[in-house]
Amino acid sequence: MNVIIYHNPDCGTSRNTLAMIRNAGIEPHLIEYLKTPPTRLLLRQLIDRMGVPVRDVILLDQERR
């Protein structure tokens, strides 16, 4: 299984997700999205594949607290 994680090493949630994937015996391909941001087209493709509205993947400032 190929697993790709768009990762931010400074984010606890991202680190925890990476640990869970590795604990399952999978070594994912990491893309540090702050260093290598996805293109607008790639974001659209990923969201389309997820089958969710764009709003569902946007983190609003009040949700960070």
Residues identified as active-site: 11
Q: What are the start-end ranges of the H helices in the chain?
A: 12-23, 40-50
CB 43 within 8 A of CB 31: no
**Both ends of the chain: CA-CA distance in Å?**
34
SS3 63: helix
